[in-house]
Structure 1
């Protein structure tokens, strides 16, 4: 199917609930039904849990701080980011099936088909910054939380705890091969995030009378908006694994519905943390917000659940990256045989784990690293590249004017946040390393 034929048959992406299904039905009779049921794959529920587990989590803990940076306008940015993320998540999946004959397997392949090797390497750079950068952030957070909880009774450094967390993650990461196999982890991770959000919300509300006359709030802080958008964008960084999640679905035609419900669930959890957190702690809110909560049993429970979440979410992201490496180097049973495939897969994943753990032990600054991660990788992968690739592979002329305007708005927000947010985050990291904490 050529590009012109696809554009004439394809409906507008704005009809999000049925766009992928409509594309499949519009394909010519001789095309393969790429969206047929896959009986050996997972359910919509496991796909939903995979998205929630990867998307929601540590980003939640930085939201009150993001509002402290940008003001109450951050709540609007949060919901707008969700809408833009749903839209670009749909575009990405349309790019996966863009020619109607084959299914692309990764974000990198989309870049390759759109712009050749420059597109491939651009995606590889930003994709790697997320699927390895987020686990780095997870190890930093879990190591620091365990250290704070045990430093009075256990004589281990924060770095040692980071490596212990890496060792715990190595078991599912090395043993379980695909995202379908780690889906059970994602369900427990999603439940841990729900508990974390409830505890954080309740503690913030309980402390509100103590802080309401002490802290300040702003409607908008213009100079900090790019940094706030970059921090908030971390909360919607799941599209680096969307291709693998959709590939593991029994009913791929349900992708749009699953994506919408998953991101709606995430934004509800974000709101119940961000709004009470900023209302109570105002411009003194810290990242992670656990640092602002009182040092009591509920803070400890919240810390335990965020540790559980990040240790369950890290294997999902790293498995996504490992699958790309294994596909490139043909580390599979058909090519290598059972024994050699397992050996090479184990070595590959241990190397990946070692790199992630090493970076985490050298960059122990959660809030600044989170902002850099959001600005550098997420703003590009979520807000910029999906639109650019869609226009290149499928075209923009069939889009109505309001959809083109929304695309332009998303591109501008993504570009400004990526550039200015990255500069500000690098400055913050430089201050952290030179001045310490």
Structure 2
């Protein structure tokens, strides 16, 4: 695997281990070539945390009480396990960016290319695209449907009309804000909307507990449903698709490990605040989303508005991540095109991307089921399987301790299991859609 080198920072900071082609240790790289040096003008550690939380803590939060209802109280432990696995692979994939100690790779696809050549590039492109474009499609479908439900008594517009309105609104920051540094302001509001959603759900389910107390019997483990619960929870911390761009937009890249750790902790706490009270109050009847189980009223409308706010604020983060990849591929940069042409080309590319996403959201039947299939494949592969495979190929597994290798094996098994089970569930849903249809 070649010799292994490590650039060490303070406790909790990012370290680089990689196979360096030259005989010069990466520790001896001149200061002005330090890949992890401070980047003036970039975003703060807090903005990095907010970017991650906004992408990771999505609408899947509201399905966690149902996961506990399916698998039992053991789901709370699975939630923590998923957080630890996702944190670990998030650290590994960023280390892969600096694996040679001389240059920083620009994207997940470049990591795949350096690790496994063209095959690795294609694999990452497929899974990456399914998430960063597929998720916004679902966001627009969800927001259009929810807005129509909130306004149907006052405004007679169809779901498709509201979807295009939402696309128009999101296209403004998507086109005007070039990188995730600028988009990080949206992520702060996105996190705040998620916090409000979590608080509303927590308060309403807790207040309703007195009406359901003693009604249900709770299970510690429901073995027959446990694989499905694991598959669902295992992808609740999936943010690998934007980690490269979040880290690139950070002023202090050495702080990546700490930034990712606190982002994962925040997400896990919010998940627990919804999952545990939701299952405690509604037991095996907990619905997905849990809002369907909450009492009707003003609080429920506020929660619905927060869902719409969150998905509309999270969509630019994912779409910006994808557009940055496209713009790199097409050499759309100030250095290559000049200021004026760069802005024009970037605007055209991003409007085309928005048009494609909006068109798919309106036109493709049963796309949510297709997306569930791609999501099961894409999330599990990008979050768990590929980071470990790439790390072992680029940096090597021989220098790892036995317990690290065991931990990697556990992650790979759970990742592949989740991929298979999630794909089977999605295929069954597609079969029902095409044979039975929907109301």
Number of equivalences: 431
- Residue 29 of structure 2 aligns with which residue? 30
Deviations 1:167-195 (A, max 9, x none): 11111111111111111111111111111
1:407 is matched with: 408
User: Counterparts of 1:128-139 in structure 2 under 5 Å?
Assistant: 128-139=129-140
1:17: which partner in 2? 12
Q: Which residue of 2 aligns with 1:204?
A: 205
Flag structure 1 segments of 5+ consecutive residues without an equivalent.
none
Structure 2 residue 233 is matched with structure 1 residue 238: no
CA distance in 1, matches of 2:372, 2:279: 18
| Cα pair distance change 1:216/1:326, threshold 3 Å | farther
Q: Aligned match of 1:4 in 2, 5, 12?
A: 2
Q: After alignment, is 92-101 or 425-434 more displaced?
A: 425-434
Q: Which residue of 2 aligns with 1:329?
A: 330
Matches within 5 A, 1:141-152: 141-152=142-153
Give how far 1:362 is off: 4.5
Tell me which residue corresponds to 1:351: 352
Q: Give structure 2 stretches of 5+ with no counterpart.
A: none
Q: CA deviation at 1:145?
A: 1.5
Q: Distance in 2 between matches of 1:419 and 1:199?
A: 34
Counterpart of 1:436? Answer: 438
Question: Matches of residues 27-426 of structure 1 in structure 2 within 5 Å?
Answer: 27-30=26-29, 32-215=33-216, 217-362=218-363, 371-372=372-373, 374-426=375-427
The alpha-carbon deviation at position 363 of structure 1 amounts to 6.2
Deviations 1:358-384 (A, max 9, x none): 332356879857754542211111110
Contact 2:146/2:308 (CA < 8 Å) preserved in 1? yes
Q: CA RMSD in A?
A: 2.4
Name the SS of the counterpart of 2:269 in structure 1: helix
Question: Is the CA contact 2:377–2:419 (under 8 Å) kept in the aligned structure 1?
Answer: yes
Kindly provide the CA deviation profile for residues 311-352 of structure 1, in whole angstroms up to 9, marking residues without a partner as x.
111001100000000000111122223333222212211221
Q: Is this contact kept in 1: 2:7–2:16, CA < 8 A?
A: no
Task: Point out 4+ residue stretches in structure 1 off by more than 4 angstroms.
Answer: 21-26, 213-216, 362-371
Offset, 1:248? 0.5
Summarize the Cα distance change of 1:365–1:281 in structure 2 as closer, same or farther, 3 Å threshold: farther
**SS in structure 1 at match of 2:238:** helix
Determine if contact 1:98/1:394 at 8 Å carries over to the other structure: yes
Contact 2:67 / 2:75 at 8 angstroms: preserved in 1?
Answer: yes
TM superposition shift of 1:77: 1.2
CA distance in 2: counterparts of 1:37 and 1:201, whole angstroms: 40
CA contact (8 A) 1:375 1:422 kept: yes
Deviations 1:24-70 (A, max 9, x none): 99724136310000112111111111111111121211211222332
- Greater shift, 210-219 or 141-150, is seen at 210-219
Moved more, 259-268 or 147-156: 147-156
**Aligned mates of 2:115, 2:356 — CA distance in 1:** 30
Structure 1 stretch displaced more, 291-300 or 205-214? 205-214
Question: C-alpha separation between the residues in 1 aligned to 2:106 and 2:322?
Answer: 12
Q: Residues of 2 paired with 1:186 and 1:50: CA distance? A: 5
Q: TM-score, normalised by structure 1?
A: 0.92
Q: Is the 8 A contact 1:140 1:366 kept in 2?
A: no
Q: Secondary structure of the residue that 1:181 maps to in structure 2?
A: helix
- Partners of 1:287 and 1:366 within 8 A in 2: no
When residues 230 and 290 of structure 1 are mapped into structure 2, their CA distance, relative to the original with a 3 A threshold, is same
* Distance change >3 Å, CA 221–CA 192, structure 1 → 2: same
- Secondary structure of 2:303's partner? helix
When residues 42 and 236 of structure 1 are mapped into structure 2, their CA distance, relative to the original with a 3 A threshold, is: same
Deviation at 1:306, TM superposition (A): 1.6
Compared with structure 1, are the counterparts of its residues 135 and 308 closer, same or farther at alpha carbon in structure 2 (3 Å cutoff)? same
> For the residues of structure 2 that align with 1:275 and 1:366, how far apart are their CA atoms?
31
1:223 deviation in Å? Answer: 3.5
Preserved contact between residue 16 and residue 90 of structure 1 (Cα < 8 Å) = no
For residue 288 of structure 1, report the CA deviation from its aligned partner.
2.0
What is the CA–CA distance in structure 1 between the aligned matches of 2:289 and 2:430, rounded to whole Å? 16
Shift in Å at residue 220 of structure 1? 2.6
